[in-house]
Amino acid sequence: MKKLKQLGLHPEQMLADLPAFMNRIICLADEIGISLSSYAADHIALRVNSQDIALELHQAWLAYGTEWSQAIINGRPIVVIGFDKPLQVGEWTIEALELPYPNGKTYPQQGWEHVEFVIPGNAMSLEQLEQSISSIFPALNWQQLADQGIKVKASSPAGEHERLPNPTYAFKKGNICIKLHSHSLAAVITSEQQDKHVNNNN
């Protein structure tokens, strides 16, 4: 815990920094041309550079919630912890924390990295998700984002047993990232657990 505090990564320190981080998320959303106040902030994610720190954080955050899942995604474990008491920040109630273990990439800044929002549309592919985003946020100009220094990345991350496709668009500028998808993390984890149950019964 001492090391976490020295790095400013102890959960108490990170929770104290949460309002400022969400303000940066709101500023990025304004720059992108999207208003997220009507949509659920599904989960919040952090990034760290070392396995030791990830292990310490994993244990430290378990004091605030219950481990919902641990899945290998893109070759590394990603832990999801559901908060006993959801985080209330601004207009949003955040139910879960995503903690990816490092995969060799070094982040210039450790700590909060993105918030993922659920938008309507039930998209099952990246094409459907792009259509949903464009329809819901008509002010978003995809072509101008690169000129604003905003990187856009489309992905379809999936755990081994996930049945529910969850295409995702990430909008990143500096150390701040907003991700949009159509299915909550809780729904994706439920689909994974159902698949395991089916496989175990076969």
What integer pLDDT is reported at residue 82 of this predicted model? Answer: 96
Number of domains within the chain: 1
Q: Is 51's pLDDT higher than 90?
A: yes
Residue 130 tokens read as 């792009």
By mean pLDDT, which of 23-37, 56-70, 173-187, 188-202 is the weakest?
188-202
What integer pLDDT is reported at residue 186 of this predicted model? Answer: 82
- The Cα–Cα gap between 106 and 104 comes to 6
Mean pLDDT of 95-105: 91
What integer pLDDT is reported at residue 166 of this predicted model? Answer: 80
Q: Is 171's pLDDT higher than 70?
A: yes
What integer pLDDT is reported at residue 104 of this predicted model? Answer: 83
What integer pLDDT is reported at residue 122 of this predicted model? Answer: 85
Q: Can you list the pairs that 59-64 forms with residues at least 24 positions away whose Cβ atoms lie under 8 Å?
A: 60/1, 60/4, 60/10, 60/11, 61/11, 61/97, 61/99, 63/11, 64/11, 64/97
Domain of 144, CATH number, reads: 3.10.180.10
Range of the domain at 129: 2-201
